[in-house]
Amino acid sequence: MRALFLHQNFPGQFPHIAGHLASISGNQIVAIAQKQAKGLANVAKVVYEPSRPPTKGMHHYLIGTESSILNGQAVAKTMQALKQKGFVPDVIIGHAGWGETLYAHDVYADAKLINYFEFFYRARGADTDFDPEFPNTADDVLRIRTKNIVNLLSLQGCDAGISPTNWQKSLYPTEYQPKISVIHEGVNTDLMCPKADATFTLPDGRILSRQQKIVTFVSRNLEPYRGFHTFMRAVDILCKRDPDCHVIIIGSDGVSYGRAPLDAKNHREKMLSEVKIDESRVHFTGHLAYADYLKVLQISTAHVYLTVPFVLSWSMLEAMAVGCIVVGSNTAPVTEVIEHGKNGFLTDFFDAQKMVDSICEVLENNEQLAHIRANARNTIIERYPVTKSITQYEALFAKLLK
């Protein structure tokens, strides 16, 4: 098989399927990505670069759309160069979010195009109208509808689509949903596994282990989309309620989703000006290397995962694979995975006091809740293993190429 992956940060959502295809003798696997992409062993990476940034002064509804078109145009030129060298893929697999797959069929008319559909934007009923602290403006409503231009072109132009959760698929227009299969990229449960003697060393040299009460929180960036503001209010209460626990917060100070605060440098600084915490027990690590991130999960007593109704983070599934007891927000798509009292606990996204009650229940009854840890890991092993993801992809390939 010849397969072409399109993702500006390749491998992105495709490390397992791309790695699997690359491991099969006779396959030729190529990825088109931007220069910052890490790439993957045995996959030839070809770098593309947009010809220019979006037009200065353009209508703000269309900045993202033009950026996507510039990406798509640059990828099309890169594909044309590959075609001239004799590379013609059987399948093209790409993330639809940045426009890179827009013109794939215009270069490779006979290849089967599979688009990864992560999120269909809605002004109501999903992420942006969920938190009353951050309401939509009338202008936001119109802008959000316009953001789906590339989504809709990508839906029309592909042979098949995939979404990682049923809820994320359900956001797409009903007329296109038959085109979309639910295939999660999968979790490496051999790597993400419990370790009884794991330790994590703080910057000041103190060593934390499973012998202590450890509350963990992970987000690529610390921001309201991932409930950071509510969590910090809970930490304020928790520090007073349990003088022995430590809180480890992994994440950077940028903005992945939503907006930066107007009255502070970042959301961490904003929340630290609002709440009172015990700085000797609340540890902000910033971004961590993957091995250190795994150690933090392995010593966790209670792992808090919060999100507005939005894309499900890998970190929640990885925490469950490690055997963490997750205290998760009662929001989609978290509720697609966590069953309250069986493989984790659900709590109100906005209620810091109830969140603390759930966290303390775990901290105070850790040994009695060992079955929750086991059930969490088994959920990932049964529903989200890499092997299942690869099998689903291969079935989709077979269907399209028959």
Question: What string of DSSP letters covers 266-288?
Answer: SHHHHHHHH----TTTEEEEES-
pLDDT of residue 262: 86
DSSP symbol at 137: P
Give the Å distances, CA to CA, from 310 to 50, 167, 305, 318, 334.
28, 9, 13, 18, 9
pLDDT tens digits for range 263-297: 899 999 999 999 999 999 999 999 999 999 999 99
pLDDT tens digit sequence for 312-356: 999 999 999 999 999 999 999 999 999 999 999 999 999 999 999
What is residue 71's predicted lDDT score, i.e. its pLDDT?
98
Q: Please tell me the predicted confidence (pLDDT) of residue 324.
A: 97
Q: Work out the pLDDT band at 27, boundaries 50, 70, 90.
A: very high
Residue 263 Cα distances to 133, 134, 252, 254, 266, angstroms = 14, 14, 18, 15, 9
Tell me what pLDDT residue 203 has. 87
Flag whether pLDDT at 152 surpasses 90: yes
**Roughly what angle, to the nearest 10 degrees, separates helices 267-274 and 228-241?**
40
Question: What pLDDT sits at residue 12?
Answer: 96
What confidence tier does 259 reach under pLDDT thresholds 50, 70, 90? confident
Q: With contact defined as beta carbons under 8 Å apart, do 30 and 108 qualify?
A: no
Residue identified by tokens 């269309």 is: 62
> Model's pTM, two decimal places?
0.94
Query: Would you place residue 106 in the very low, low, confident or very high pLDDT band (cuts 50, 70, 90)?
Result: very high
- Average pLDDT taken over every residue of the chain: 96
Written as six digits, the tokens of 53 are: 């940034």
Quick one: what percent of the chain has pLDDT higher than 90? 97
Query: What band does 300 get if pLDDT is binned at 50, 70 and 90?
Result: very high
Q: Containing H/E element for 262?
A: none
Phi, psi of 305 (to 5 degrees): -130, 120
Q: What percent of the chain has pLDDT over 70?
A: 100
Average pLDDT over residues 52-56: 95
Q: Please check the confidence at residue 235 and state whether its pLDDT lies above 90.
A: yes
User: What are 167-218's pLDDT values in tens digits?
Assistant: 999 999 999 999 999 999 999 999 999 999 999 999 889 999 999 999 999 9
The radius of gyration of the chain's CA atoms, rounded to the nearest angstrom, is 22
> Tokens for 378?
């088994």
Let me know if 86 is exposed, middle or buried by CB neighbors in 10 A (0-12, 13-18, 19+): exposed
Q: Is the pLDDT of residue 258 over 90?
A: no
